Amino acid sequence: MTIEFETPKPIAQTQFVLKTVAENMMRLTSREMDENEHEIPFGYIEFMHNAMRSIGSGSLAPKEEKPKEGDEKKEKRPPIAYQNLAAQIEMLSWGDVGFYLVTPGGGLGAAAVQAAGSPEQRAKFLSRFNEEKPTFAAMCMTEAGAGSDTSAIRTRAVLDEATNEWVINGEKIFVTAGEKSFNCREQFGKGFIVVWASIDPAAGRAGMRAFVVEAGAPGVKVVGLEHKLGIRASDTATISLVDARVPYDNILGSPTVEKTTTGFKGAMATFDMTRPLVAASGIGVARAALEFLKEKLAESGVEIRYGLPRNKLTSVEKDVIDMEIQLRSAWLLVLKAVWMADNKKPNALESSMSKVRAGDVVTKITQKAVEIMGPLGYSREFLLEKWFRDAKITDIYEGTGQINRLVVARQILGYSGKELR
C-alpha cells in the first residue's frame, strides 16, 4: 500500500462544505464567542449536527465503512476514516478552533471506546453520535497530581460484588467538553464521559482501566469550568466522582489485573489515534494566520517572489516562505500518521511526531504573523491576536510537547519509560 497525496474526492467534497460553514458561520461569530466564555452556541451545534449527517459523515467521530452487497465485485477502496476526520478538523479549526471543539461528536471519549472497547461496546456507545440529537462525549484522565504522567492517576474504581457495579471515587480536571457531555441532557443526546481509574493501585499501570459513565449518573458532578487564554468557546470542566456507580459492563478492557500493562496501553492507543487529529487542528489555526498575513501583505503591495535565490529576498519574504515550509511539513506528518491509523498500522512514533511538529509550528507561525503585522496584529481589530492565543493549546493538551518528545525518543532508541524519563 502507498500513501496518496491527492485528496480523495469524498474528502474534498466535505472540505468544500465545511469551508462554507467556516467562512459564513464560524468566522462571523468568533469574536462574540471568545468574549462570552462558557456560552453554548446551540444554533451552531444543531446546524452542524444536521449538516454532518446530511453529507454522510455523521458527527466528528471515526466511522468505519461497512461492506455492502456486491462490494466484493468492486475494486476495494482504501480506508480513509481518520484521513477524512483530520481534513474536517483542519478546516473547522481554520474557521475557529473554539467552535470546532463544540462541534457535536465523540471526541476523545469516542476515541477511547474505539481504541479500548469491545465490538459490543463500540456498537452501543458510538452509534448514538449519528442519532437525531447532537451528542457529546469526553475523556476524563487528568488529575491535580497526574498531568503529563498519566500513570500517576489516583482515581479509584472498586467492584461492589453485591450489586455487580463499579464504585468510582476521584476528581478529574481539564475535561474538554465535560459540561456538554455530562450536563445539558435536555438539549443534547445521551452523552457520556470516559473516566480513567485504577482497579488496583498496587499494580501500577497494569491496574489502569477506562469506564464509560453515562450523563447524569448519580455521584458525578461538574463542579467547575476553567477560564482560559484561548479556545474560549470550548468548555473545560472539573468533574467530581463520589461513590459513582457504573454498570459492570461499562469497563473498557479486562476487569482482571494481569502482569502486563494492558490498561495503560489502552490509554496510549487512544492517544495514538487522536494526537494527529489535535495536530490537524493546530495546523488549521496556523493556516488561518498565514493566509491572513499574506492577504494583508498583498494589500500593502508586498509580493512574495518565490523564484528568487534566498539571498535576494527581503526579510519578510524569507519569513513567509519559511512559515509555508513549516506548515506543509507539519501537514505531511499528520497525513502519514492518520494513513497509518486507517490501515491499522502501529503509529505511536508518527502520532507523537505529528503532534510535536504541529505544536511548534502553530505557535511559531501565529507569533511571527503577529510580529510582522505589528500593532495591528496585536490589536483586537482582527482575529490574528485570537489565533495567537488559541495556538498554544496545541502544544499542551493530548500530551505536552515535552512528553511527546520523550515518546518519540523512546520509540527511536528502543528505551522503555523507566529507562528514559
Pick the closest to residue 61 from 126, 119, 13, 17 (CA basis).
126
Name the least confident of 41-50, 252-261, 388-397.
252-261
d(CA 368, CA 294): 12
285: pLDDT confidence band, cut at 50, 70 and 90? Answer: very high
CATH (residue range 135-260): 2.40.110.10
Looking only at the bridges linking them, the beta strands covering 165-176 and 236-247 are antiparallel
The highest-confidence range among 115-124, 130-139, 280-289, by mean pLDDT, is 280-289
End-to-end CA distance of the chain: 35
For residue 121, give the amino acid letter: Q
Pick the CATH number of 9-67+74-116 from 3.30.450, 1.10.540, 1.20.1300, 3.30.70: 1.10.540
d(CA 381, CA 127): 43
Name the least confident of 116-125, 317-326, 346-355.
116-125
Q: Given this model, what pLDDT does residue 406 score?
A: 94
39: pLDDT confidence band, cut at 50, 70 and 90? Answer: very high
Q: Given this model, what pLDDT does residue 150 score?
A: 73
Catalytic pick among 90, 179, 350, 398: 398
DSSP structural state of residue 210: E
d(CA 397, CA 292): 26
Pick the closest to residue 25 from 105, 123, 91 (CA basis).
91
Is residue 398 flagged as an active site residue?
A: yes
Question: CA-based angle 394:115:276, to the nearest 5?
Answer: 25
DSSP string, 278-297: HHHHHHHHHHHHHHHHHHHH
The answer to whether 165 and 246 have CB atoms below 8 angstroms apart is yes
Q: Facing residues of 168 across strands?
A: 157, 244
360: enclosing H helix or E strand: helix 348-373
The answer to whether 290 and 367 have CB atoms below 8 angstroms apart is no
**Residue labelled with grid coordinates 474538554:** 176
Helix and strand totals (H; E) in the chain: 13, 8
d(CA 12, CA 14): 5
Instruction: Report pLDDT digits (tens) over 356-377.
Output: 999 999 999 999 999 999 999 9
Pick the closest to residue 172 from 224, 103, 218, 113 (CA basis).
224
> What own/partner pairs with CB < 8 Å and gap ≥ 24 does 301-307 have?
none
68: pLDDT confidence band, cut at 50, 70 and 90? Answer: low
The answer to whether 219 and 245 have CB atoms below 8 angstroms apart is yes
Assigned CATH topology for domain 264-413: Butyryl-CoA Dehydrogenase, subunit A; domain 3 (1.20.140)
**Residue labelled with grid coordinates 468557546:** 233
Residue 381, classified by CB atoms within 10 Å of its CB into exposed (0-12), middle (13-18) or buried (19+), is exposed
Domain residue limits, the chain: 9-67+74-116, 135-260, 264-413
Phi, psi values for residue 242, rounded to 5°: -125, 110
Name the least confident of 146-150, 296-300, 320-324, 336-340.
146-150
Q: Given this model, what pLDDT does residue 204 score?
A: 82
Q: Given this model, what pLDDT does residue 73 score?
A: 54
Instruction: Report pLDDT digits (tens) over 221-257.
Output: 999 999 999 999 999 999 999 999 999 999 998 888 7
Q: Given this model, what pLDDT does residue 203 score?
A: 86
d(CA 105, CA 107): 6
